[in-house]
Amino acid sequence: GTNDQFFAYVAYGCDLFEEGSLVNLTASIIGNVFGFKAIKALRLEDMRIPFAYLKTFQGPATGLIVERERLDKFGRPLLGATVKPKLGLSGKNYGRVVYEGLRGGLDFLKDDENINSQPFMRWKERFLYCMEGVNRAAAATGEVKGSYLNVTAATIEQMYERAEFAESIGTVICMVDLVIGYTAIQTMAIWARKAQMILHLHRAGNSTYARQKNHGINFRVICKWMRMSGVDHIHAGTVVGKLEGDPLMVR
């Protein structure tokens, strides 16, 4: 740092925040304070959240043990990959990649953050071909397989429609993007718990405020907020590969 950088510890009373509302919490913690003229830059490094307030949030529905029991996989890391190329494949070719990856030994394939419902592949087509690949790979290997179906959409109503269709065709996991917003994330987490669906969160958009070391929000804080919201997984960057990711942070 420099001589004009300082750490400040700020305490808030719990009564200042609505119970179970991440939106209300963040409206205060990262609201107008980041726009004050008196400061050149501001970064939220960490939060210690009182247990009493934390208990007003749903939290994740499944832990590591429950997920392993659902997948019947123990004693090793779960191995996954993302379908590439992320954009441009037809539904049939997309499903073929899913099948080949799972047949080759992966536990999961996943949609990328910007795969929603584009002209080259509509969401329902993708879901059906993906699940065909999942079911064929599961039958061939005798293992539980999965594909993270991205239910991110323009409105909550559309996301419900996609998530309910994904549930109806037998997926064990679906995903949403961080850019849908805190209210939508909490809403989908509540749905996922009721549906007994594992919910993955892709951190798309996170780096717009997490990478600068003198301004924004530390990814550690985003992780805590998402756990409070109720997602089971969060995309954490990579130690190697194209995405930034500090080894200690990823760990």
Q: Which residues are catalytic?
A: 84, 202
CB 126 within 8 A of CB 94: yes
Scored b (16 or more CB within 10 A) or e, 57-94 reads beebbbeeeebeeebeeeeeeeebebbeeeeebebeeb
Q: How far apart are CA 9 and CA 231, in angstroms?
A: 28
Helices 91-103 and 123-141, packing angle to 10 deg: 20
Scored b (16 or more CB within 10 A) or e, 185-203 reads bbbbbebbbeeebbbbbbb
Residue 35 has what DSSP assignment? G
